[in-house]
Amino acid sequence: MDDGKCACVLRSNWGPIGKAVILESYEDIVKIYGDGGINGTTEVPFEQFKGGARLVYAVRIGNGGTKGEYMIKDTSESATAVIRLEMKYEGNREFSITIRPTLADSNKKELIILEGTTMLEKFIFPGGNDEVTNLLEAVSESEYFTLQKLADTSYPLETIDQAEIIRGTDPTVNVLAYSKAFELLEAYRFNVLALDTNDTSVQSIMRMFLNRILEDGKFTMGVIGEDRNISFETRLANASAYNDKQIIYVGNGFIDISGNVYEGYLAAAWVSGLIAGTPSNESITHLAVDGAVELTELFTNNQYERAISAGMLTFSLSASNVVWIESGINTLITPNSNEDIGWKKIKRVKVRFELMQRLNDTAETLIGRINNDNDGRMTIIQVSNGVCGSMAAEGKLLAGARCEIDSNNIPQGDSAWFLVYADDIDALEKMYFTFKFRFAPEEIESE
């Protein structure tokens, strides 16, 4: 199975808006979105990678916003603006610009873009009588800005020493922006989706999105969370209200060795990476949280039992004070007529989704290439049984999983119906010991 693929929506003061971007490392986040700015949420994909994701499909959300700009002038008496420098993306990220002769050759000049004291880009161009053209030719492509010629001039360009580029404005973010982002993500295949907000209205829209694309054969889950400002009883009620095998609700959080607090959407982002990156033949129950040293809240045994009953995933402490996942559950608490209680477990949902996906992928290559006759249908059964056998060998299904013709639906035209029987394997999570002590061995008692 293609594990380890996450998706997320985020806010930032830099980067393409309304476009799905593939992130493959921490470095990609910084390169594409910067540090996010004061209102940014670029920490979401960071946490997904930390949890175990190997790639993230990210969408920067928002509507409107403006791009920063700077008017480059010449050295004429009127100081005419001859080039308009416009930043590549909307947002209030702070940049500065320097234009000066190079130290190595006074006949050449350099344009430098800085963020604080960090040089982001440098372009060298010939000085002289046609510096406008020379600069435009030197900057064939920049990751940060574009240039537009406003006027010709025979005067050199002005010397600029770390002048502040007029900042743009961040786009506005509303519920509609999230809905549009989900539509963009629909084109991609990923295991788990995470948000950058605790807003319950956005969480509800995400749930509807995941439910809808499941009907179209896209097998994915979503992780949401709320922080300790919401009462424990309310969190229990909110988790159980979802009652959905696709939704994981994280009900508390943890603190790392540096004192950083992870709860709400941040804890949910970390969990989403963990779920995506954990193979379906393994459970996340009692998996340790790397770097965590304490909990934001330590519940009583009764509270943990109530959380499990309400479908609320929580962090707890092991006997050796290691922060780990208490139980790998989703919010399904009352299965419908088409569900069994196996759908309550994240591990079993992953196995079942994986079987469906692998069978769909295998059958897709045969669509239109075989006839709808006995031989063609037996081909489908044979390759499907091959998938079932492979998953049994991988420790995901019990031996005996099989595919057969659905006898209640007669093949006709271009359509045929099949039944798949499979028993997915759960993890051993509950152990019961019965202790039988005695005062003395029997041979001693008989003396």
Residues 280 and 184 in one domain: yes
Residues 344-376 have pLDDT tens digits of 999 999 999 999 999 999 999 999 999 999 999
Residues 432 and 292 in one domain: no
CB–CB of 326/316 below 8 Å? Answer: yes
Residues 186 and 50 in one domain: yes
Domain-terminating residue out of 325, 352, 383: 325
pLDDT at 445: 57
pLDDT at 444: 60
Residues 96 and 223 in one domain: no
CATH number at residue 246: 3.30.1370.220
HEC readout, the chain: CCCCEEEEEECCCCCCECCEEEECCHHHHHHHHCCCCCCCCCHHHHHHHHHCCCEEEEEECCECCEEEEEEEEECCCCCCEEEEEEEEEECCCCCEEEEEECCCCCCEEEEEEEECCEEEEEEEEECCCCHHHHHHHHCCCCCCEEEEECCCCCCCECCEEEEECECCECCECCHHHHHHHHHHHCCCCCCEEECCCCCHHHHHHHHHHHHHHHHCCCCCEEEEECCCCCCHHHHHHHHHHHCCCCEEEECCCEEECCCCEECCHHHHHHHHHHHHHCCCCCCCCCCECCCEEEECCCCCHHHHHHHHHHCEECEEECCCCCEEECCCECCCCCCCCCCCHHHHEHHHHHHHHHHHHHHHHHHHCCCCCCCCCHHHHHHHHHHHHHHHHHHHHCCCECCCCEEEECCCCCCECCECCEEEECCECCCCCCCCCCCCCCCCCHHHHCC
Residues 126-185 have pLDDT tens digits of 998 899 999 999 998 999 999 999 999 999 999 999 999 999 999 999 999 999 999 999
pLDDT at 447: 53
Residues 23 and 96 in one domain: no
Structural domain that includes position 394: 370-447
Residues 185 and 158 in one domain: no
pLDDT at 1: 60
Q: Is residue 360 part of a domain?
A: no
CATH number at residue 141: 2.60.40.4290
Residues 152 and 180 in one domain: no
Residues 261 and 401 in one domain: no
Q: Is residue 365 part of a domain?
A: no
Closest CA to 292 of 15, 47, 116: 47
Taking the chain (447 residues) in runs of 10, the rounded mean pLDDT of each run is 92 97 97 94 97 97 96 95 97 97 92 96 93 94 96 94 96 96 96 97 97 96 96 97 98 96 97 97 96 95 97 97 97 96 97 96 93 95 96 96 95 96 93 92 65
Q: Is residue 339 part of a domain?
A: no
